[in-house]
Structure 1
């Protein structure tokens, strides 16, 4: 950031400065953490005034801090110290609204500058805040680059919370849970059942399932338990329940993914319905404006072009079911086609196939490198245009290695939560790992419920 001030001698009545600022929900959480003001009216979608509308009201002193930002960085700028501030709160601003903050010099004397201050909402020019400030203006010039402060990441998972809010009113999804015979896998299924997102049918060693329930203090009363001690037999039984119409989803418990999927790929009793099985991570990454989908990071090791078509289409279908506007960035190491890099060629072909209607329901662009897929500044630097570059919400990776590493970096470095789903089967297949948190397991069930409710047929 470049900062430059105006000294007391340079300032004249009528001088002004302004900035625009989009108020985000994360801004309000950061302000609450710094100030200690945890009034729910500012932090969540509540209706504390009983008017039937949710609030997320920006605190008055947060709005005042925006005035302070203009005074401290623009006019007078670095070196400014507050002496007095008068505030009138004329209206309320909310998360998601953009405001203009403006200050104007009224007069100056004896090192003190008096300024008119106001904040207005951009959409309707409504005045949110008005008042006057008196500041001690700097006497020494300041003109410097590289003035930065550490970035902050708000570790909350509002996207998954929103998905859960949408899934709870749906009818509980009958789900065959395969081998939930240890604490995490059983606990995740029971948690989703308590939230009325799934109605579990537990398949596996009944003795081990009940022992796991006892170890976590869970009551299995009213929950069907089917005794199938062998993993492969339990997965096969889950497929049978789907064909019988008793199960509308399958959930992985404590067994290897290969054992879960093998019966599903059987030509007679399996669950394939046309497209290839592909896996999608739905990731709630702190600081991102919407969920981020990563595919394929768990099933297809080195997908060819035909498989990538199914990977893209399945991911688009899932994004639509989640209420997203699908913007697919097909990743490579570069953002230009290089004949020596096969992933860049595949990405360009996928983009053109979408243009020709062979992939439907979303925008597809590639090749894109990771930076210019998700960062608008990087996309502009490279001169990339279109609706996806810098704004991708679906990332299609070259192969399983890249996808798995990307997903785990987001989870363990960027503190993301990840929900996992296998698509291409007759019903959604909930795929969790043993290290997944309760929120990840719950969100995976919510994603499956929303996908089923959307009536997507692959």
Structure 2
């Protein structure tokens, strides 16, 4: 699937998005762009007044009416009211604004809301890399710090489910390490081998390989030179990174050195959560909105 196809499909889906701590120019720019280019409506939660910032954009009367502004008492009230709006059906998904990720997710997971599942939540970044021939998904680059094998299995399952939900029926997945053979001194290679073995038993039709280094995963020529027998090399849809450090470096390398577009979501709760970096452009925040709309 092409990144632009996912974005275009997301634009046509109607939903209401609750934005937590929305009083930020970059966030509001993304919201305004979404109002002008998608079928989404928004509820903006913040303890600071937002009317003046929103009115500074060129919105028609009908566009402005698709944005509901809720001024709260303080940050804790902002977060609880935002999550409550999804739990009681006023909104369909959550978008993170200027609030700490851990604080927002801690609220989402509270027992008083009916939003958590038995699955572990994980972060999925969907990239449009100019040098790659299709969309590339990477997980987990922002949430699970140092996942063990069992947690990586859940991360992989979330990645597969996410890709299938946006329209990739048979995703090709690589479990990354620095090498393509198992080395007991390199835990990521051991984990990758065991994860692949697990899915070949549990989901025999899934095309999954590992351990694979990143070059062998995305470049067929690299795997040929390395004499690696791979059916997915050069054509992967998604990769699972060993830990958050390698994932975060890869994420930022693609954005800043390859000028990649990105959309970021948290997957694994009953609703998708739009989770972007504070340094992400309003364009990438808009992409994240469109991708999340595909997941409701």
TM-score range, shorter chain: over 0.9
**Alignment partner for residue 46 of structure 2, among 191, 200, 204?**
204
Q: If each structure's strand is expressed as a fraction of its own residues, which one has the higher value? A: 1
- Give the structure 1 partner of residue 110 of structure 2: 266
Query: Deviation of residue 217 (structure 1)?
Result: 5.2
Name the SS of the counterpart of 1:262 in structure 2: helix
**Does residue 173 of structure 1 match 2:15?**
yes
Query: Deviation of residue 388 (structure 1)?
Result: 2.1
Going from structure 1 to structure 2, the CA distance change for 1:186 and 1:274 (only over 3 Å counts) comes to: same
* 1:395-437 deviation per Cα after TM superposition (whole angstroms, max 9, x unaligned): 1001000000001001100110110000011100001223222
Is the contact made by 1:327 and 1:393 (CA closer than 8 Å) also made in structure 2? yes
- Give the structure 2 partner of residue 238 of structure 1: 82
Name the SS of the counterpart of 2:133 in structure 1: coil
**Alignment partner for residue 341 of structure 1, among 181, 186, 193?**
186
Report the Cα distance in structure 2 between the residues aligned to 1:234 and 1:270, rounded to whole angstroms. 18
**Does residue 164 of structure 1 match 2:23?**
no
Report the Cα distance in structure 2 between the residues aligned to 1:450 and 1:332, rounded to whole angstroms. 30
Q: Comparing both chains, which one has the higher relative contact order based on Cα–Cα distances under 8 Å and sequence gaps of 6 or more?
A: 2
Report the Cα distance in structure 1 between the residues aligned to 2:215 and 2:250, rounded to whole angstroms. 13
Larger radius of gyration: 1
Report the Cα distance in structure 2 between the residues aligned to 1:360 and 1:427, rounded to whole angstroms. 28
**Alignment partner for residue 365 of structure 1, among 209, 224, 234?**
209
Going from structure 1 to structure 2, the CA distance change for 1:361 and 1:214 (only over 3 Å counts) comes to: farther
Is the contact made by 1:183 and 1:216 (CA closer than 8 Å) also made in structure 2? no
Structure 1: gaps of 5 or more residues:
1-157, 453-458
- Give the structure 1 partner of residue 294 of structure 2: 450
Is the contact made by 2:141 and 2:247 (CA closer than 8 Å) also made in structure 1? yes
- Give the structure 2 partner of residue 184 of structure 1: 26
Report the Cα distance in structure 2 between the residues aligned to 1:451 and 1:242, rounded to whole angstroms. 15
- Give the structure 2 partner of residue 330 of structure 1: 175
Is the contact made by 1:206 and 1:226 (CA closer than 8 Å) also made in structure 2? no
Query: Deviation of residue 206 (structure 1)?
Result: 5.0
Query: Deviation of residue 277 (structure 1)?
Result: 1.1
Report the Cα distance in structure 2 between the residues aligned to 1:224 and 1:297, rounded to whole angstroms. 32
Report the Cα distance in structure 1 between the residues aligned to 2:204 and 2:41, rounded to whole angstroms. 33
Query: Deviation of residue 307 (structure 1)?
Result: 1.1
Indicate the RMSD between aligned Cα atoms, in angstroms. 1.9
Query: Deviation of residue 313 (structure 1)?
Result: 0.8
Is the contact made by 1:263 and 1:270 (CA closer than 8 Å) also made in structure 2? no
Query: Deviation of residue 166 (structure 1)?
Result: 1.5
Going from structure 1 to structure 2, the CA distance change for 1:230 and 1:364 (only over 3 Å counts) comes to: farther
Report the Cα distance in structure 1 between the residues aligned to 2:40 and 2:99, rounded to whole angstroms. 20
What are the equivalent positions in structure 2 for 1:32-431 lying under 5 Å apart? Answer: 159-170=2-13, 172-207=14-49, 209-216=50-57, 220-269=64-113, 271-324=115-168, 325-357=170-202, 359=203, 362-431=206-275
- Give the structure 1 partner of residue 277 of structure 2: 433
Is the contact made by 1:335 and 1:368 (CA closer than 8 Å) also made in structure 2? yes
Report the Cα distance in structure 2 between the residues aligned to 1:246 and 1:222, rounded to whole angstroms. 13
Name the SS of the counterpart of 2:22 in structure 1: coil
Going from structure 1 to structure 2, the CA distance change for 1:360 and 1:410 (only over 3 Å counts) comes to: farther
Is the contact made by 1:328 and 1:395 (CA closer than 8 Å) also made in structure 2? yes
- Matched pairs, number: 292
4+ long deviations beyond 6 Å: none
Name the SS of the counterpart of 2:79 in structure 1: helix
Q: If each structure's helix is expressed as a fraction of its own residues, which one has the higher value? A: 2
Name the SS of the counterpart of 1:298 in structure 2: coil
Name the SS of the counterpart of 2:134 in structure 1: coil
